[in-house]
Structure 1
């Protein structure tokens, strides 16, 4: 009896998997260290040339006085909000209901720092100025995520972002940027990292998501703020004896991929156009504003998986590896464009969507019978 193949397996066995940069295996570290001299000295408990020079470069890139490298963004952001809370003397902070801090961190912000989140906007759109204006109680800080990952990478328009920044500054509210994917939104905004970060009092970036490093994060802001964050980093156990493997990889892949962010964005817009030709699929946002978007459908999960498995087996194109059920109904999957997309011949991509449309029609017909 033939064993049924899973979507995850079909995707990983395909000749052209479309998502991301590639497998996160030992090759990532080997490539980053290929040209590193054996005499490189590692950092020790947050000090040393390799970490200090990297932090200085990150501060300059983001237009801030200082920056510090953290082993995780979870640690960096909780500490940033704790510092702003202590400075303002208020435990209340505000962010989107689908913020990473709210849904992926086991209430760390509440349990470790006793902060009291106020949820802004609703789950279908990003935070806007009117949401800040509707706050009925004072908050110490507002966190904005650019782009808002859990809703397909949606963004407020830049003028809206400027208005929110001005509103917070007029009222003494600290504005923190969850910029895990900051560099991916710069092509849409037509701005530099420094210009966007100038609207915020503190900034976090990831060095492994779109950049493709091993792990780690950077927190940037005024010098005094960063000095305090280093104290909390030590308290959280974030001063590992050495972080240089993460830093070397981050430095290497930033140099490789920051110049490609505009191409990733254009590729996402192109791929979303292919998905819009499929009548039973909906792209969110309809036209991407970064290198990522979500695709939704009312088909059953098993039906959509079967369609994508067929595409992978017949054309060699892996469109996605995981399909999730949405709590509001239907199913969806995430598309995030990186290096892999450029390797796919356009004729193969067109063939894949021709087969996908046929497969979706067949699955739809079966569900009506």
Structure 2
């Protein structure tokens, strides 16, 4: 029987000595051992029960403090957290219209849950592959109750506005009488580009969602932060949506460990991503977007097709025990795109190392 493609990919990736993009995916046993070995004091305490107490409450208070918000609410998924946030603002503003980008996570990756479940309606200030401008928000041709800003805009290339552009964008929403919600799944790594700390950035919005596994390497989960009355309303809707699980301490403990481990190193990752991007740009036919990454993630475009590049990446892992990146997807005629994440394993790579590995990948792809 042929090996399952996902199993092959996991096996080869974890057998590599070096990784350019992403992090190693540990086995379940390794994951459990890592949690058990943590020095977090919460491991010696009691578990949470139906959304309260234990490490869940500790995590909520810690993230609220990091974001400079009065309160934060734990959710099992970011999709649920954002559903609830937009629903709360719709109730408060009396408007079921949300202004957002068509490439936002809600439009592309959530099966339009905000429209089908919450009966909200989206309008687009722009369809360009960039963040919307303040002028586009001010001149939107119909009223809206909430402006959702994804920071960074992942599917457009992990793009961020400048700090002045973000301030103007929020101000434009205020002029329109709208609330502002930040989809900050990757907000953690956005502060170097914006040039401001987390409380200052989050302080622009009425509510902020952050992921606990993207960037931080947790198991799952999300936090929704805002004012105390907003958080109380969010907890009520979390219950209705089925998000108040009996116990969620593994996800909370993993997130607390991720805050300790990854948050302090993110500026270093963001800086090194620029080195990696510049080295990859030297490959024949390569395109980097954005040319200077805004976070520690960016898009790499190479001559396709994607299936040949993906097989070449697996062969590179087999032959040289080097994990390059993946997966590539076909995005344009004769071009395939992959997302590069310069995390801790990439810090050991010099620019010459990056270019050499990319050259080896293209040679394997050409050999078929």
Note whether the superposition's TM-score is higher than 0.5: yes
Shift of 1:358: 4.9
Alignment partner of 1:265 is 2:267: no
User: Using a 3 Å threshold, how does the CA distance of structure 1 residues 353 and 298 change in structure 2: closer, same or farther?
Assistant: closer
Q: Secondary structure at the match of 2:190?
A: helix
Displacement of 1:284: 0.7
**What residue is the counterpart of 1:342 in the other structure?**
347
Distance of 1:24 and 1:110 partners within structure 2: 36
Map 1:189-338 to 2 at 5 A: 189-305=194-310, 307-309=312-314, 311-326=316-331, 330-338=335-343
- TM-score normalised by length of structure 2: 0.90
Q: How many Å apart are 1:303 and its aligned residue? A: 4.0
Q: Does 1:61 align with 2:63?
A: no
Q: Shift in Å at residue 190 of structure 1?
A: 2.0
Match of 1:25 in 2: 27
1:88, 1:359 → 2: CA distance?
A: 56
2:174 counterpart of 1:174: no
Report the alpha carbon displacement of residue 189 of structure 1 after superposing the two structures with TM.
1.8
1:43 corresponds in structure 2 to 48
The answer to whether the 8 Å contact 2:40/2:257 transfers is no
Give the match for residue 90 of structure 1. Answer: 95
Matched, 1:119 2:124: yes
Any idea what the Cα deviations from partners look like across 1:175-219, whole Å, max 9, x if unmatched? Answer: 100000001111222211101001111000001000000100000
Match of 1:16 among 7, 18, 37: 18
Deviation at 1:65, TM superposition (A): 1.1
The offset of 1:59, in angstroms, is 1.0
Paired residue total:
361
CA contact 1:11–1:321 (8 Å) conserved in 2: no
Post-superposition offset of 1:58: 1.2
1:261-298 Cα distance to aligned partner (Å, 9 max, x none): 01111121111111100131101111101010011134
Q: Which runs of 5+ in 1 are unaligned?
A: none
1:128 paired to 2:133: yes
What CA RMSD, in Å, does the superposition of the two structures yield over aligned residues? 2.5
Q: 1:30 to 1:343 in 2, by over 3 A?
A: farther
Q: Which has the higher mean CA deviation after the structures are superposed, 97-106 or 329-338?
A: 329-338
SS in 1 for 2:182: strand
- Aligned-partner Cα distance in 2 for 1:232–1:112: 13
Alignment partners' CA distance in 2, 1:229 and 1:106: 22
Shift of 1:316: 3.1
The alignment partner of 2:80 has SS state of helix
CA distance in 2, matches of 1:199, 1:16: 40
Verify: 1:70 aligned to 2:75, yes or no: yes
Residues of 2 paired with 1:29 and 1:130: CA distance?
A: 50
Q: Which moved more, 1:18-27 or 1:237-246?
A: 18-27
Q: 1:350: Cα distance to partner? A: 4.8
1:297 is paired with a residue of what secondary structure?
strand
Normalised by the length of structure 1, the TM-score is 0.90
Give secondary structure in 2 for the equivalent of 1:227.
Answer: helix
CA drift at 1:19 = 2.2
Paired with 2:322 and 2:212, the residues of 1 have a C-alpha distance of 28
Name the SS of the counterpart of 1:154 in structure 2: coil
